[in-house]
Amino acid sequence: MPNVTTNIGTISKGATDLARDAAYVAVGLGVLGYQRAQVHRVELQNRLSQDLALDQHLGGVRHGVAKGIRQIDDLTESAVRFVETTLQPLEQRLPSPVNQVTAKAREQAREVRTQIRDRVRAA
């Protein structure tokens, strides 16, 4: 009988050692998985902060472009008013058919300007 007890003790010790080794492996894998998740988290945070910085920069660029477009539009409006007020006295002296042609040209220029404004606003 001592042989059976020794075999049971050996089997029991072997099972215990195997369970302990399995627990160590499970804990080790858990630690490695956690560390890997932390690395991915840090990489993701870095990407997001870069994307945020890029979005802020693009927002500044968009604002600058919009401001420039408004300034160009204002300058164009001033130039159109100047030309119209300068040409108006001359148009009154022109014959009626020529006066109609200049009025039509001014109307078409306003229409083109309106279309340009609409397209710029849509973009």
pLDDT tens per residue, range 2-11 = 565 668 878 8
Those residues with Cβ within 8 angstroms of residue 91's Cβ, 6 or more apart along the chain or in another chain: 99, 102, 103
HSE-up (13 A, CA, CB side) for residue 52: 6
Mean pLDDT of the chain: 82
Place 123 in a pLDDT band, splitting at 50, 70 and 90: low
Q: What's residue 50's pLDDT?
A: 87
Tokens 């991915």 found at: 40
Summarised one tens digit per residue, pLDDT across range 45-93 is: 888 888 888 888 888 888 888 888 888 888 878 887 887 788 778 777 7
Q: What's residue 2's pLDDT?
A: 53
pLDDT at 43 over 60: yes
Q: How far is CA 62 from CA 45, 55, 58, 66, 114, in A?
A: 25, 10, 6, 6, 22
Q: What's residue 40's pLDDT?
A: 92
Phi, psi dihedral angles at 94 (to 5 degrees): -80, 155
29-53 average pLDDT score? 90
DSSP 95: -
d(CA 116, CA 60): 23
d(CA 113, CA 73): 9
